[in-house]
Each structure stands twice: as C-alpha cells, then as structure tokens.
Copies of this chain bind each other. A is one copy, B any other.
C-alpha cells in the first residue's frame, strides 16, 4: 500500500475584518468613504466601523484614532467552529498562545495572538451578516448591498502585506500551523527570504510578508482593496490624482502574482493598494515558485519600476 503525504488543512476560510490606527481620523475617514467608496456603519468611542459594498459581513474595517499610523489587527474567518478550536489548540500547544476577545461590534468572539514578527491576528467563526437597510438593498438578491458607484468603488479587501524581520519564520508559522499555501518566495543568497506570498484559497495572495528593512517590528506594509477590473484601477488613479493624494507607485503590474496595482497612502500614512487580478492557483499540489535574487532583479514580464521607498516605508513610520 502506498503511503501518501499528509493532506492539507483547510481551517482558514478567508481574510476577515481588520483594524488600522490613524493620527488623522477625519481625513482618513474621508479617504475611505469619498475616495475608496466605503461606508461608515458604526462609531464606538475611538473606533469607526466601515464596510465595502461587497462585504457579506456587517463590517470589515475598524479605523481607530491614535497618535500614530499602523496596524491594529488582521483577522481570519475560520471554516467551522471546529477549525477555530483546532487552530487555537495548535497555537497554545506551540507557544503562540494569546487570549479571547469579546465580540467586536457583532463579530466574534475571537482568539487574538501575535505572529513571529509581533503583528496581532484574530481568529473567529461567529459573525453578523450584513442586512442592507432601505436605500442600500441591491436589486439582485445575491449581492449584499447596492453598488457604491463612488470614488474607486472598492468591492472588498483583497490581501494584506506585512513587514517581517524574518520572512521565513512567518511563512513557516502559517504553513505549519494553519496550512496556508505559499505560491511565491524570493530567496536571497544568504538563504534568508525577501518575500513570501501566501493564501488560504485558489487566490494567489491573501497574506504577504516582505522584508523589514528598518529597526521596526509588527509593521504594516499595505492593505489591498479589490476593484472589479484593471480599468477601475486606472480610474482610481484619476480620482486620487485629482484629489491630490500622493501616488507612490502604479498603476502597473507586479511580477509576483501578476496583480495590477496602484499604491497611495491614506492621509494618516498607512499605505493602501487598489488592486485587480493576480493569478488563481488551481493545482492542489502546486509548489511555491522560488525566485533567486538574480532572477528577481531582472523583473521579467512587463510593469513599471517600483520606487525604492516602496521597500522601506511602512507604518508606524520608523526613521533609523
């Protein structure tokens, strides 16, 4: 009888709701509402809760007034209550134990813990589905809310990119503990890693780690929001330009995952991508593509040059 390798774990369903910190709460809200096309659905103390029109859950972004920009937390919805129990058990048995957080405006309870670089994550299963009020009901009942038709008109979050001092350690943490699949890796000559693109699904990336080049830790590189077409990424550039929002890079296409991108910074300083595309991975046994530094430097394919600051800037800002 043949011995097969262990089968993959499918406990993470998708990226859930997230939190960011901003020192400019009013301007940041204006960016997300007027320019990205999101909507404030609740305010509680220092926190504003927002949603995009394609979110099936009641909210997806918590913006917290703070003295500086940065990441609050990233969360994953689990595929089942059992999946949540299994992953919490793994965390606790492997020295990554955290603590339970009460339901946050209808989502949770959640188990909060830190990845090897110190970014906070939450795992949850219980959630609240969005019920569109009058005036927001979509005409097609399989949509969750009517089309926003405002600003860049983002549909929902697409992926998150975190900076890590040890990309490999973070990658292995998610692979071994959660069954995340890694689709691309950049490996440097000293065998450290400059980047890793990971996903819980056929999408090419949900969670990215790239190299932290400052003395900081737990920093956010960017959140990416999905628009429906590359044409809408181009439209978004027009909107940001006319709003005098700084465009750091794009619109153009990345070599990794081949997604079409546009990077701005919301007024508080957090980098936000408007994104479309990137390949899907159907093969259940796909191995990550490992780029050598030499091959990566050649940047095969097409796409504009990325400015150097893209590889250094993150939030909170660190000036070494």
Contact = CB atoms under 8 A, between A and B. Distances in A.
Interface of A: 2, 4-5, 7-8, 10, 13-14, 56, 77-83, 138-142, 146-147, 149-152, 156, 183-184, 201-203, 228-232, 234-235, 237-244, 247, 250-253, 255, 257-258, 260, 277, 279, 282-284, 286, 289, 295, 300-302, 304-305
Given A282-B14, A283-B56, A284-B80, A302 B247 contact: yes
Contact of A241 (B203, B232, B295, B302): B302
A255 B150 contact: no
Contacts of A232: 231, 235
A302 B237 contact: yes
A203 B201 CA distance: 10
A147 B239 contact: yes
Contact of A302 (B138, B238, B286, B295): B238
Contact of A258 (B140, B242, B244): B140
A288 B304 CA distance: 30
B284 A77 contact: yes
A2 B151 contact: no
Stoichiometry, copies per complex:
4
A312 to B, nearest CB: 18
A301 B139 contact: yes
B241 A300 contact: yes
Nearest to A15: B282
A139 B203 contact: no
Contacts of A238: 147, 149, 301-302
A123 to B, nearest CB: 13
Contact of A231 (B146, B231, B253, B255): B231
Nearest to A240: B302
B242 A147 contact: yes
Given A149-B235, A300-B139, A79 B242 contact: no
Contact of A184 (B142, B201, B231): B142
Contacts of A151: 149
B81 A301 contact: no
Contact of A146 (B149, B228, B242): B242
A180 to B, nearest CB: 15
A302 B14 CA distance: 29
